[in-house]
Structure 1
């Protein structure tokens, strides 16, 4: 069983998948950084200097109870959700562009690969077998 597991782990598909997952995590961090640090300030600038992350619907205001303890506000942070939607759209567009570029390179490789030379037809092979059997 250990040998089967080793063969499974060492196959190319599993290693390729592991590399893809690790690379996807790194690319995700880069894209999220780009969206939050570059794109969202630009979008906020064109939206009148607004930061969507600060938008919220307050259900209960922050207050101080009878014992002097501060009670935090209870709010729906819908602006963060808008940021997440914008992030999703930008990440989706970036991934679309990456896949589109990858598909272009795959087409070029497929076009460059020469067609294999045509082999003998079935009739030619059968006639060779017949001639060999006659001898």
Structure 2
């Protein structure tokens, strides 16, 4: 695992722990569950992005694996979008969706996709899902 990947995963896990500790008990179970859902899905999306990068780099680019991972990423994006009414999370989801759509277009046309916008948007989602 590359140091950047470890740092991103550590950051996401730290965000999840921070959400669990920072949401006051008086906020009620619903708010805590919603925050934890957002943080957990942000981690899943971060993992999807790592898997996508692995599928699109290296000696053997695997477009079928990339398509499968893109489908998983789309599903996880939809899950976050369906579970939030937070404007910052919604914007991060929109940015991530646009970046994923661009990667899908590149993969479909046989071009090397730029994953930087996807990584940046996934990082922003992690940030807005933390308190």
TM-score by length of 2: 0.31
Structure with bigger helix share is: 2
TM-score normalized with structure 1 length: 0.30
Q: Which has the higher strand share?
A: 1
Higher relative contact order (CA 8 A, sep 6+): 2
